[in-house]
Structure 1
Amino acid sequence: MTGALDQLRLQLLWNRLLAVVEEQAQTLVRTAFSTTVREAGDLSAGVFDAEGRMLAQAVTGTPGHVNAMAASVGAFLRKYPLDRLEEGDVLLTNDPWDGTGHLNDFTVVTPVFREGRPIALFAATSHVADVGGLGFGPDARQVYEEGLLVPIGYLFRRGAPNETLLDIIRANVRDPTAALGDLYSLAGCNDAGARRLLETLDEFGLGDLDAVGRLIIENSARAMRAEIAKLPRGTYENSMRIDGYDSPIDLVCAVTIGADAITVDFAGTSPISPRGVNVPLAYTQAYASFGVRCVVGNDTPNNAGSLSVVQVTAPEGCILNAPRPCAVSARHTVGQMLPDVVLGALAKAIPDRVPAEGASCLYLPVLLGGPGVAGETAGEAFVVNPFYTGGTGARPGKDGLSCTAFPSGVRNTPVEINEATAPILIWRKEYRTDSGGPGRFRGGLGQVMEFAHAERRAMAVSKMFERVRHPARGRDGGGPGAPGAVRLDDGTVLSGMGRDVVPVGRRLVIETPGGGGKGDPTTRARAAAAEDLRAGLISPEAAREIYGFEESDN
């Protein structure tokens, strides 16, 4: 494909592939049982060539899943080479070191056959609300305590379900209907993608994706190398301290911009933790490479070609390259900080493109209730994992986004959905005044939420909250965002990590962090600050003390 018509045909085929993987993702959303997938979009979907290289990913999804999944398909093929698979075979795993970093994420891989020959693969990942063990949380000492680990194996064999595996999963999770339903939804979305791909190949008169796949990967790699060549070469360093489970964690990186590649090295980062905040290397690579892609070649498709020119390393034994059998359930609390760490280094090379630090880590309270939980002997058994977000850092030339998930890209779970799927009441959900870091461009705001058991029973909460002690930092003279907080409504302060009981009659109050500001706050446009005051985003005190309003302005 070298002529203009061939290039046009390639572009049309590329657009069709994007439509195919987006339909794959939307099928997953529509058929998933867990609200984490249905409502928050915690998933990934993509198509791979016969060598296991990702060609295209769905727009719907999260980088921690899709970039890690891009590497995990290779692990599937090492155990089950494509020529050993048959029509109707579907593989799966939730192994953190072969998948996306913790047991709650199941990855399902399906080969596509054309005239009896395997020509491609579809893969999808989604977050299953419960996988047994201690449940989703940071309290485990080893991965064995965190839930059921399923090594790479068959979910379906020649179209028949692996009933032994399904029975094992059914017996080990708190909500077997949701868990098994989610596995079937993963298999179903891959099947939808496969059907559309075969229709596309028929329409374009192609027997497979081999030649087209090579062109897509080569073009994407070439485009990324061209963008890298425009950058100032050198090594740029940055570090960030975050809360950790019971002691602070230092994340240290050196970003080296070369002639045609970027390397990110996390040497100097803190060692592994005795608790479940450790990060397998694949998840580290997923979010660190995403940090680079946010400001370098962000118009280039995200696939094996563009990812190949960003290399990410971390010393084995540090918290970003945790070996088996480290506990890793809450790996997102550390891993989702990595784009900010990488962007902080890149700010020294390309300062005009980089935002301030944001809340980054999702706030994911896992609420549990029923007999045997929090001392209760009766009541409805439930486990619900709502997703909440803080503010992003101020952007170049713009304020930060309030209550928006960056870098994960997932959505806040609606109040109505949480109340419909579990016996909980959400008494309050509102913007958190003054939580956005002050600056010429203000950081995004966090939010305040208040939860209670609808039946006036005790319940447990498993907390994985970061930036409680170390808030998001501003940039270029901007101020920090507000730290996060968690407490009971009677004022009892709870730790950001670990499981606690919400007693009968008490409410759980969560405050998510704000994003850092960018630029000197005294240079903020008067009209913008006045609008913030009018909308309640800043208080009259902040208007006077930070932005220089007079009493008569209020």
Structure 2
Amino acid sequence: MDALAKIQRQIQWNRLIAVVEEQAQTMIRTAFSTTVREAGDLSAGIFDLEGRMLAQAVTGTPGHVNSMMESVGHFLQKFPAATMKPGDHYITNDPWLGTGHLHDLTVVTPAFRNGKIVGLFANTAHIIDIGGLGMGPEGRSVFEEGLYIPIVKCFEEGRANETFFDFLRVGSRTPVELEGDVYSLCACNDAGAKRLVEMMDEFAMDSIDDLAAYIFDSSLTATIAEIAKLPRGTHAAEIRSDGYEAPVTLKASMRILDDAIEVDFAGTSGLSGRGINVPPAYCRAYACFGIKCVVAPEIPNNWASLAPFRMVIPAGCILNAPRPYPVSVRHVVGQLLPDLMMGCLHQAVPERVNAEGSSCLWNPPLRGGAQVSGQESEVEDFEIITFNSGGTGARPGKDGLDGTAFPSGVRTMPVEATENVAPVIFWQKQLRPDSAGPGRTRGGFGQVMEIGAKNDAEFAVNAIFDRVANPPKGRDGGGEGAPGWVGLNDANGTVLRTKGFQVIPKGKRLLLKLPGGGGLGDPKARDPALVARDVADGLVSPEAAKRIYGAG
């Protein structure tokens, strides 16, 4: 390929990324659920007719996009590309064929040009309610966790599958939002297909096969080149989760080869009887992301750039949950995997690895009304999820980020958006002083949140929190981040369970103290000016500055 042809291919590749980003933004603009509209808990991408991902939107989460990369192949097994027609849309929320739990809907749509199928668009979005017990860890099997949708057509040649939508509406506490989100997902794929055809017309492309070959070859070659720069060897690490019935230990052995990285999760804790289990696709999604962040962060994410990262996930461990194990809050364990991967990579390239962060989202599902308090309820029925995060781990050259979601990448939801759609009040939401793990570069600060129902009425939380008994660790002499805390705002400081359905009594409020990120390096080596700045900002107390950093 000559230089001019390579330039044109690169332009087309960049255009393709713009196409899928418009696809994602269409979903955000049209979504009904605040989880999509405000938090951006979604993914969008384009695939070839073999189900291989060419490009993903910048907006989106690794758990969604990297799991979705496997999903399209499952759709094609049931509905081969040759059988698809314009106006068809296919949907599932099968945790083992999609992104790991029932609250994520995945939609696949064919794109046609001049009557010929030329590609596939797929997207995933987290919806507020899918029925069952609701989003929480209490289920004993996936069948208790909500409405289970196999791969089916939700639209056929542009006509809605009314039987499907009848089942969908009656199975959810929020039927309007759920149905609206399905229409949004289909519209977003249609937007991507339209832009793809316009692009193909502009470049006189009869197919995207040649472009796909260029993308895959370039991405694979670049990724292998980055792997080749790493020192060869095998490195082991482990990390602990608070778990549900008992603490959970995740173990990994990482082998760095000439052209691949292999990870074996042997020694990881066994399956749980509650919904913290992780389907294997979700394990691969976040493990690959953690490796890619360190090894090849600048290479666009697609099928080929992830291919050199290979996983062995032993049967019977919590990272390889089989049907019908409960998996509703698989993110609580699964989002620890990037920190586990960095624990391995720290032994190979310590200068490129962050300290551990709060990792798992603190996204409390809140419920109220008659479904909690019966006829005595003082507020209307509501079901809502609000996304929030603790601090990230310290970086080699910079402090960690405060109240920022890593690895999920979702946005913190504005309190006003949640208060606008549910009868709840956020009485407090601020950074948590002294929560950042100390170090030469410190971790990010966690948050303090105080949430109540209107009129201080009774409501419930389906707790799905972690990093309370096992706070984020520092590296290279850096300190731990502050552990999380879950309780009531009363004078006694009543402690609540970190996982499970619990009622907040009338007159009380839910108080959350989100964990801070771990620190990196010796705290005594921290720039005194930065310590003074944190003290002046009220984020580090003078006592802690003197005791930990030797300031003052």
Asked whether the equivalents of residues 269 and 318 of structure 1 are also in contact (C-alpha less than 8 Å), the reply is yes
- Which residue is 2:88 aligned to? 89
- Which residue is 2:128 aligned to? 129
Pair 1:45-2:47 in alignment: no
**Cα shift readout 1:159-216 (whole Å, capped 9, x = no counterpart):** 1111111110100100100001111100000000000000000000001111111111
SS at match of 1:170: helix
Residue 245 of structure 1, CA deviation: 1.0
Two-structure CA RMSD over aligned residues (Å): 0.8
In structure 1, give the amino acid aligned to 2:320: N
- Which residue is 2:137 aligned to? 138
Give the 3 Å change call, closer, same or farther, for CA 536–152 of structure 1 in structure 2: same
Asked whether the equivalents of residues 45 and 58 of structure 1 are also in contact (C-alpha less than 8 Å), the reply is yes
Counterpart-to-counterpart distance in 2, 1:27 and 1:11: 24
Pair 1:224-2:226 in alignment: no
Pair 1:546-2:548 in alignment: yes
Asked whether the equivalents of residues 483 and 515 of structure 2 are also in contact (C-alpha less than 8 Å), the reply is yes
Map of 1:54-453 to 2, 5 A cutoff?
54-375=53-374, 377-378=376-377, 379-453=379-453
Counterpart-to-counterpart distance in 2, 1:264 and 1:355: 19
Asked whether the equivalents of residues 264 and 313 of structure 1 are also in contact (C-alpha less than 8 Å), the reply is yes
- Which residue is 2:518 aligned to? 516
Counterpart-to-counterpart distance in 2, 1:191 and 1:466: 38
Asked whether the equivalents of residues 371 and 381 of structure 2 are also in contact (C-alpha less than 8 Å), the reply is no
* TM-score (norm: length of structure 2): 0.99
Counterpart-to-counterpart distance in 1, 2:321 and 2:371: 33
Counterpart-to-counterpart distance in 2, 1:273 and 1:95: 19
In structure 2, give the amino acid aligned to 1:155: C
Counterpart-to-counterpart distance in 1, 2:189 and 2:499: 36
Which region of structure 1 is more displaced relative to structure 2, 305-314 or 465-474? 305-314
Residue 46 of structure 1, CA deviation: 0.2
Counterpart-to-counterpart distance in 2, 1:341 and 1:272: 18
Residue 452 of structure 1, CA deviation: 0.7
Counterpart-to-counterpart distance in 1, 2:370 and 2:120: 43
Asked whether the equivalents of residues 531 and 551 of structure 2 are also in contact (C-alpha less than 8 Å), the reply is no
**Cα shift readout 1:194-242 (whole Å, capped 9, x = no counterpart):** 0000000000000111111111111100100011111111111100111
- Which residue is 1:487 aligned to? 487
Asked whether the equivalents of residues 376 and 458 of structure 1 are also in contact (C-alpha less than 8 Å), the reply is no
**Cα shift readout 1:81-137 (whole Å, capped 9, x = no counterpart):** 101111111000000000000000000000111222211000000001000000000
Residue 375 of structure 1, CA deviation: 4.2
Counterpart-to-counterpart distance in 2, 1:541 and 1:16: 54
* TM-score (norm: length of structure 1): 0.98
SS at match of 1:500: strand
Counterpart-to-counterpart distance in 1, 2:148 and 2:357: 33
Asked whether the equivalents of residues 374 and 460 of structure 1 are also in contact (C-alpha less than 8 Å), the reply is no
Residue 246 of structure 1, CA deviation: 2.3
Counterpart-to-counterpart distance in 2, 1:374 and 1:399: 45
Counterpart-to-counterpart distance in 2, 1:246 and 1:447: 26
**Cα shift readout 1:37-74 (whole Å, capped 9, x = no counterpart):** 00000000000011110000000000000000001100
SS at match of 1:95: coil
- Which residue is 2:3 aligned to? 4
SS at match of 1:373: helix
In structure 1, give the amino acid aligned to 2:261: I
Where structure 1 has 5 or more consecutive residues not aligned to the other structure, the ranges are none
Where structure 2 has 5 or more consecutive residues not aligned to the other structure, the ranges are none
In structure 2, give the amino acid aligned to 1:272: L
Of 483, 503, 506, the match for 2:505: 503
Residue 75 of structure 1, CA deviation: 0.6
Residue 376 of structure 1, CA deviation: 5.1
Counterpart-to-counterpart distance in 2, 1:111 and 1:396: 44
Of 517, 520, 529, the match for 2:531: 529
Asked whether the equivalents of residues 467 and 513 of structure 1 are also in contact (C-alpha less than 8 Å), the reply is yes
Counterpart-to-counterpart distance in 2, 1:489 and 1:149: 37
SS at match of 1:455: helix
Asked whether the equivalents of residues 43 and 57 of structure 2 are also in contact (C-alpha less than 8 Å), the reply is yes
Counterpart-to-counterpart distance in 2, 1:352 and 1:210: 39
SS at match of 1:372: helix
Asked whether the equivalents of residues 376 and 457 of structure 1 are also in contact (C-alpha less than 8 Å), the reply is no
Counterpart-to-counterpart distance in 2, 1:547 and 1:337: 29
Which region of structure 1 is more displaced relative to structure 2, 496-505 or 375-384? 375-384
Asked whether the equivalents of residues 254 and 262 of structure 2 are also in contact (C-alpha less than 8 Å), the reply is yes
Counterpart-to-counterpart distance in 2, 1:42 and 1:193: 18
**Cα shift readout 1:313-372 (whole Å, capped 9, x = no counterpart):** 211211000000000000000000000000000000000000000000000101101113
In structure 2, give the amino acid aligned to 1:41: G
Stretches of 4+ aligned residues off by more than 4 angstroms: none
Asked whether the equivalents of residues 360 and 405 of structure 1 are also in contact (C-alpha less than 8 Å), the reply is yes
Counterpart-to-counterpart distance in 1, 2:423 and 2:408: 28
SS at match of 1:174: coil
Counterpart-to-counterpart distance in 2, 1:536 and 1:376: 45
Counterpart-to-counterpart distance in 2, 1:232 and 1:549: 39
Residues paired across the two proteins, number: 549
SS at match of 1:213: helix
Residue 374 of structure 1, CA deviation: 3.7
Counterpart-to-counterpart distance in 1, 2:128 and 2:225: 42
State the identity as a percent: 57
Counterpart-to-counterpart distance in 1, 2:474 and 2:534: 18
